[in-house]
Amino acid sequence: MVQHTLPDGRRWIKNLVAVGKALGYTTDTELNVAPEGEEPAPVDIAWFRSEHDQFPLFIFEVETTASGQMVYNASKVFSQDSELFEKPLFHFHLVLTDSSERSGRIKAAKRQFGSFNYRIYGVREDKATDAISDIISQHRRVSDRLEIDALAKCLEEQDWPELNRDAVWEHAESCGFSTAWPPAYCQLALADPDYVPRLVRVLKPELDRTVFDGAQYETWSGLHCSQAFHAGILAENLPALGDRCLDALREWQGSGAIRTVSPQYGQNEDYDAFVFSLMPAIWGLLAVMLSGVPGARLWILEQMELVIEDEARVPHILAGLTAIWMLHIAAGGSEECEHYFELARRRLDAGGGVRPSLLFKPPAISAAFSDPDEWWEELTADPQPVPELDEFRRRRPAYVAGVTPTALAARYLIDETQPMKGSVSILAHLAAT
């Protein structure tokens, strides 16, 4: 067989080789499948399960047009005795042009080999997406693992205008791979906003679930707050589901003595760091993401009040960051939120006030546990009383939101070290609301 010289043929072969490698196969091009001693009969692409296998699991032929060569290109695989050449798990025959179902050559190939695991795709007639989707389905017969990042790279970076990528991803999601879609889509969405709708799509069914897998993330935020972040992402991107997202947030937090986030000071240092150092800014982000949901901001402020209400039980060094973030959340809310602004203001003033630079630019996480002396100095150096609400609003700087709320949530879920400089974006979104 003559090697492909036309750009489209070379492009498809290159792309299919990339997909094979992304799915974990050993790939080969121009593999000779003829018995020893006979005239060479190469196939365009072969995927092997490993480099030690003699026969490929998948074979691909790429035809420029539906020519008389088609039947031969299939027969050189299927007409051989299985003792000489074991049949592939599937044979994909792709035709780049002139692949009408009325074509006699295509009909002849189907008549002769249609009873085998063999299919013809006219990839210029909206069948490219079907071809890639079927490849993923056949891969599922071999493995329940799917390296989403690797597949995304070859699907997005290659020159493949014929593909409906979203349809390919939706098909892959439905195949039953034992892979964690939300973390993968979070990671991809940080670099490409096109993945945000895909992330939303896989999160939406969570509103009907009662069990959640926080362990799919490798962060403390993901382990303990994934349900909350997921609800926030859905509320921001699907406003019509806002009430249900708030219900999911309430379910995640719980009530009474079994709240997910509560001031259980002294029981566990890691948990204390989570509640007092990491969670205040997260509450701010959730307030932004559910800003269009009636009652959401008030409910969030109620949860934060639990931390600052008992001065005897929670010392100033721990309650300070929560109180500062409460000011910003309440300042962007309705008149009902003003009460919580005053509660936070009184708590901070009772501790001696706050340095203005910290007041108007609080960190996303404090050093209260990693370096308590540093945090105490930052919290108490040159303290001043907290201004009243109207003055507080006037004195807020012009924050610039460099990152969307969904991207901030994805950062928390994937890598807690990334959002540490993202407090300005949260503050900007809070000021805007």
- Residue 256 backbone class (left: φ over 0; alpha: ψ -120 to 50; beta: rest): left
Contact 70, 155 (CB under 8 A): no
Closest CA to 92 of 109, 117, 71: 117
Q: What is the mean pLDDT of residues 47-69?
A: 87
Contact 14, 158 (CB under 8 A): yes
Residue 26: per-residue pLDDT: 96
Q: Which two tokens stand for residue 149?
A: 């990042």
Cα torsion 402, 405, 408, 414: sign: negative
**β-pairing verdict for 58-65 and 90-97:** parallel
- Across residues 120-139, what is the average pLDDT? 88
User: What integer pLDDT is reported at residue 103 of this predicted model?
Assistant: 54
Handedness of CA 243, 246, 247, 248 (dihedral sign): positive
Edge to edge, the sheet with strand 58-65 lists: 26-32, 42-48, 58-65, 90-97, 118-122
Give the highest mean pLDDT range of 119-128, 304-313, 325-334, 369-378: 325-334
- Can you tell me the distance from the alpha carbon of 377 to that of 354, in angstroms, rounded to the nearest whole number? 11
**The pLDDT of residue 1 is above 50:** no
Tens-place pLDDT, residues 140-175: 999 999 999 999 999 986 688 889 999 999 999 999
Q: Is the pLDDT of residue 324 over 80?
A: yes
Q: Calculate what percentage of the chain has a pLDDT beyond 70.
A: 91
CB of 397 closer than 8 Å to CB of 423:
no
pLDDT in tens, 380-399: 888 999 999 999 999 999 99
What's the average model confidence in pLDDT over 320-333? 95
Q: For residue 305, is pLDDT > 90?
A: yes
Separation of alpha carbons 353 and 347, rounded Å: 9
Say yes or no to pLDDT of 102 above 60.
no
DSSP string, 89-132: SEEEEEEEE---TT-HHHHHHHHHHTTSSEEEEEIIIIIHHHHH
Distance CA 394, CA 10 (A): 62
Is a pLDDT exceeding 70 seen at residue 37? Answer: yes
Q: Would you state the structure tokens that stand for residue 113, as one six-digit string?
A: 């080999």
Radius of gyration of the chain (CA): 29
Q: What is the pLDDT of residue 146?
A: 96
Residue 101 has pLDDT above 70, yes or no: no
Contact 148, 188 (CB under 8 A): yes
Q: How confident is the model at residue 262 (pLDDT cuts 50, 70, 90)?
A: confident
Q: How much is the average pLDDT of 31-43?
A: 83
